[in-house]
């Protein structure tokens, strides 16, 4: 690439710190997939040897995902990602006229699905969260009414990483015989997941948040629970998700699930938590008026959402981008949305502070050097914003791109 169009013109190197948006494929995952992208060809529904080999590979992956979630293999339905898993869970069990209880901080894959059901005649209760970003299980209990069919609450929030009190909510769901769906897309591989301990009936995960390819995902569907499929066609996935399986993707997803599970026990996750804490400490030392959103709450080990008082988040993001640090202004799916973060708003964080917030999310590939680089570049970017222009001028520069 010619030097003049190098994406990081000011920086020796670049660091990716947006793992909650997507993660790089691990080499072991790529290796597992490679034969299925090369000359190993087979449709798992075919009866011949090639088909049987593909079926066997898919079933190994199903067991690997089941081991991550502590469920039976047949309870795993492969999908095309987290959004599809959430939609399959919600539209699959909620009939017109029913009542749904969900939270104000869900990812848009749940939020917009529930809004769609509202348009179709369902009723929804949107649970508030406290200033730390947690749902109160007692609010869940109070929201239940005759006709409540589903409770859907996420495990870890994608912007703050804050974990929800799922076991308490699961107990309430069971006491009342109400189905419980959990969006665990940002939790899988970062904290242990046991669907029985949670007491959920449905749970969504996504491959590309845990070093598997984009376009892979799974829904845990409790044995015996019937679900209306979203697609009509063949009898794949026990008629729960029609369409020829993405064999290479599923094999990669299975491998990533096995590696993620190992990471929960081999110190990998604890290392990630230490790095995240170092990053937070380093940034809070360098940045005046910075605060961690959701600080002190139980959180996944890889995420921190930091608000930087006195700067516009979009400008800081753009400066960091130029300096070679890729972080996010919030959810990747809402990047560019004008209305700001519904999650921070629900936590009662004032608009000004919310719009000055950035999300840093680490993966198992993040190194100590990456953390030092990030702290250094945040300090550098804040220094430039403070010296070069006041906040008003910064706002003006956001549209045109920062002049560095
Ligand atoms: N749920 C949560 C909490 C997410 O963070 C995301 C993606 O960021 C999704 C669902 C959607 O997953 P996918 O990108 O696999 O469709």
3-state secondary structure 319-353: HHHHCCEECECCCHHHCCCCCCCHHHHHCCCCHHH
Nearest to 86 by CA among 225, 188, 230, 190: 230
Contact 184 CB / ligand 1 (< 6 Å) = no
Give Cβ neighbours of residue 42 (< 8 Å, ≥ 6 apart): 48, 50, 51, 52, 53, 54, 55, 247
**Model pLDDT, residue 338:** 43
Active site residues: 333
- CA 381 to the chain's CA centroid: 27
**Model pLDDT, residue 205:** 98
Nearest to 20 by CA among 335, 362, 264: 362
SS3 (DSSP) at 308: strand
Contact 158 CB / ligand 1 (< 6 Å) = yes
CA of 366 to the centre of ligand 1 (A): 21
Dmax (CA) of the chain: 70
Contact 82 CB / ligand 1 (< 6 Å) = yes
> Please, what sign has the CA dihedral across residues 259, 188, 199, 95?
negative
d(CA 63, CA 65): 5
Contact 80 CB / ligand 1 (< 6 Å) = no
**Model pLDDT, residue 404:** 31
Mutation probe of ligand 1 site: the residue of 209, 246, 330 with most atoms within 8 A of C-beta: 209
CA of 46 to the centre of ligand 1 (A): 32
Nearest to 217 by CA among 180, 190, 244, 256: 256
**Phi and psi dihedrals of 366, rounded to 5?**
-70, 135
Contact 106 CB / ligand 1 (< 6 Å) = no
The DSSP H or E segment spanning 220 is strand 217-221
Q: Do residues 312 and 340 make contact, with C-beta atoms less than 8 angstroms apart?
A: no
CA of 316 to the centre of ligand 1 (A): 25
Nearest to 57 by CA among 90, 76, 87, 33: 33
Mutation probe of ligand 1 site: the residue of 20, 89, 157, 158 with most atoms within 8 A of C-beta: 158
The DSSP H or E segment spanning 64 is helix 49-69
CA of 164 to the centre of ligand 1 (A): 16
How would you label 272-288 residue by residue, b for 16+ Cβ within 10 Å and e otherwise?
A: bbebbeebbebbeeebe
* Token pair listed for 235: 């009898």
**Phi and psi dihedrals of 92, rounded to 5?**
-75, -25
- pLDDT of the chain along its 404 residues, tens only? 444 445 555 666 899 999 999 999 999 999 999 999 999 999 999 999 999 999 999 999 999 999 999 999 999 999 999 999 999 999 999 999 999 999 999 999 999 999 999 999 999 999 999 999 999 999 999 999 999 999 999 999 999 999 999 999 999 999 999 999 999 999 999 999 999 999 999 999 999 999 999 999 999 999 999 999 999 999 999 999 999 999 999 999 999 999 999 999 999 999 999 999 999 999 999 998 899 999 999 999 999 999 999 899 999 999 999 999 999 986 555 544 446 899 999 999 999 999 999 999 999 999 999 999 999 999 999 999 987 655 444 433 333 332 23
* Intra-chain end-to-end CA distance of the chain, in Å: 22
**Phi and psi dihedrals of 175, rounded to 5?**
-55, -35
d(CA 161, CA 269): 14
d(CA 155, CA 86): 13
Q: Do residues 43 and 51 make contact, with C-beta atoms less than 8 angstroms apart?
A: yes
């Amino acid at each position: 690439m010619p030097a003049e169009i190098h994406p990081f013109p000011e920086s020796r190197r670049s660091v990716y710190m947006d793992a909650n948006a997507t993660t790089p494929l691990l080499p072991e995952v790529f290796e597992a997939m490679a034969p299925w992208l090369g000359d190993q060809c087979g449709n798992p529904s075919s009866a011949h040897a090639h088909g049987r080999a593909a079926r066997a590979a898919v079933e190994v992956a199903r067991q690997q995902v089941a081991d991550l979630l502590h469920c039976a293999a047949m309870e795993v339905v492969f999908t095309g990602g987290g959004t599809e898993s959430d939609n399959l869970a919600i539209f699959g069990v909620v009939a017109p006229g029913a009542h749904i209880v969900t939270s104000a901080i869900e990812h848009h894959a749940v939020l917009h699905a529930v809004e769609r059901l509202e348009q179709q005649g369902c009723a929804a209760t949107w649970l508030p969260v406290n200033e730390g970003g947690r749902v109160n299980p007692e609010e869940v209990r109070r929201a239940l009414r005759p006709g409540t069919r589903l409770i859907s609450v996420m495990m870890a929030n994608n912007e703050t990483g804050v974990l929800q009190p799922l076991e308490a909510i699961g107990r309430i769901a069971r006491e009342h015989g109400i189905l419980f769906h959990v969006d665990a897309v940002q939790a899988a591989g970062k904290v242990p997941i046991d669907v029985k301990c949670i007491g959920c009936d449905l749970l969504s995960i996504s491959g590309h948040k845990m070093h598997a390819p984009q376009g892979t995902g799974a829904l845990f569907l409790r044995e015996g629970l019937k679900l209306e499929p979203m697609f009509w066609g063949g009898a794949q996935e026990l008629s729960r998700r029609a369409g020829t399986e993405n064999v290479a993707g599923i094999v990669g997803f299975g491998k990533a699930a096995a590696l993620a599970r190992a990471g929960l026990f081999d110190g990998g996750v604890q290392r990630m938590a230490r790095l995240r804490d170092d990053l937070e400490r380093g940034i809070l030392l360098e940045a005046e008026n910075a605060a961690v959103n959701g600080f002190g709450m139980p959180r996944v080990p890889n995420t921190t959402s930091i608000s930087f008082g006195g700067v516009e988040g979009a400008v800081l993001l753009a400066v960091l981008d130029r300096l070679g640090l890729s972080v996010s202004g919030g959810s990747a799916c809402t990047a560019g949305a004008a209305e700001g973060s519904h999650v921070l708003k629900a936590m009662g964080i004032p608009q000004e502070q919310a719009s000055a917030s950035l999300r840093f999310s680490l993966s198992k590939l993040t190194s100590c050097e990456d953390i030092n680089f990030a702290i250094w570049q945040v300090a550098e970017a804040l220094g430039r914003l403070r010296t070069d222009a006041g906040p008003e001028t910064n706002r003006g520069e956001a549209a045109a791109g920062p002049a560095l």
